[in-house]
């Protein structure tokens, strides 16, 4: 099963830039989308149904903001909308689809770049997320957690670690949280296969950052340790410019 995760920074904008053509050619089995920025999802759903996807949308209550979705060719046994925490569910931050062999969680972590208040919300979110996933793993032990985490874990994951040491997204406490989360029983699947530098998933729209590959790796597929033998490949597609992020892929194989 090939899973794509992609912060599209507006689903309609990504469609206009060629997202559908790429999906038609690439044919992933499941797609996790973040920042769909669309409440009236029916205006785009037929495009994805035509490609063979069952569509599950979880937009934010605030129009034109945030929102996640799971699109899948394999119909899930169950879909869960939200975390059951009002402040995060209002912003459309999580959706889960349960399949026979694993559960797929699509999530969009808050950004803290707009100031101290949002940074505080971000840090509260990551702690609440940790507790939520710990509880979920008791009943759903095989988890794939896909999405925009808005944190670079290690120096290898950011183009200029020294200059960004005090930047939201690379703060010591954020990086420590990712390490603690992985230590609790999860795999950073891209790093499981690839330890090379200069692999990023987001680039600033300023200063020609993308052309110079001055990026950050803030999008992840995390997988439960129990799925390690089923991990077949992971990839990043920086050549695709439908958003300021790029798609990432995880391939799982089950007998």
**Residues belonging to the active site:** 148
State the burial class of residue 57 (Cβ atoms within 10 Å of its Cβ: 0-12, 13-18, 19+).
buried
Listed in sequence order, the DSSP H helices in the chain are 11-16, 19-26, 42-49, 86-89, 116-139, 172-183, 189-193
Q: Phi/psi of residue 57, each to 5°?
A: -110, 145
Query: Using an 8 Å Cβ cutoff, are 133 and 103 in contact?
Result: no
Q: Which helix (H) or strand (E) holds 55?
A: strand 54-58
Nearest to 197 by CA among 215, 210, 181, 179: 215
CB atoms within 10 A of CB 164: 16
Residue 178 to residue 151: CA distance in whole angstroms: 8
Which residues on neighbouring strands pair with residue 252, listed in sequence order? 231
Whole-number Cα distances in Å, 44 to 13, 21, 36, 77, 78? 11, 14, 11, 24, 23
What number of residues does the chain have? 255
């Amino acid at each position: 099963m090939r899973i794509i995760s992609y912060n599209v920074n507006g689903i309609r904008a990504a469609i206009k830039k060629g997202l559908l053509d790429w999906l038609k050619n690439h044919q992933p089995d499941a797609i996790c989308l973040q920042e769909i920025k669309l409440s009236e999802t029916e205006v785009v759903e037929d495009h994805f149904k035509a490609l063979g996807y069952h569509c599950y949308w979880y937009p934010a209550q605030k129009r034109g903001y945030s929102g996640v979705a799971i699109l899948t060719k394999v119909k899930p046994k169950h879909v869960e909308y939200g975390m059951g925490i009002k402040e995060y569910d209002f912003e459309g931050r999580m959706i889960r689809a349960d399949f026979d062999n694993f559960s797929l969680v699509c999530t969009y972590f808050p950004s803290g770049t707009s100031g101290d208040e949002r940074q505080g919300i971000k840090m509260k979110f990551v702690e609440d997320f940790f507790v939520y996933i710990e509880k979920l793993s008791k009943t759903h032990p095989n988890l794939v957690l896909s999405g925009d985490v808005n944190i670079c874990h290690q120096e290898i994951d950011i183009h200029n670690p020294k200059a960004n040491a005090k930047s939201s997204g690379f703060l010591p406490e954020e990086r420590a949280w990712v390490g603690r989360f992985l230590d609790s029983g999860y795999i950073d699947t891209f790093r499981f296969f690839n330890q090379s530098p200069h692999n990023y998933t987001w680039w600033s729209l300023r200063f020609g950052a993308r052309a110079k590959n001055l990026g950050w790796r803030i999008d992840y597929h995390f997988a439960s340790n129990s799925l390690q033998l089923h991990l077949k490949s992971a990839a990043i597609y920086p050549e695709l410019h439908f958003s300021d992020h790029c798609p990432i892929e995880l391939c799982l194989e089950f007998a």
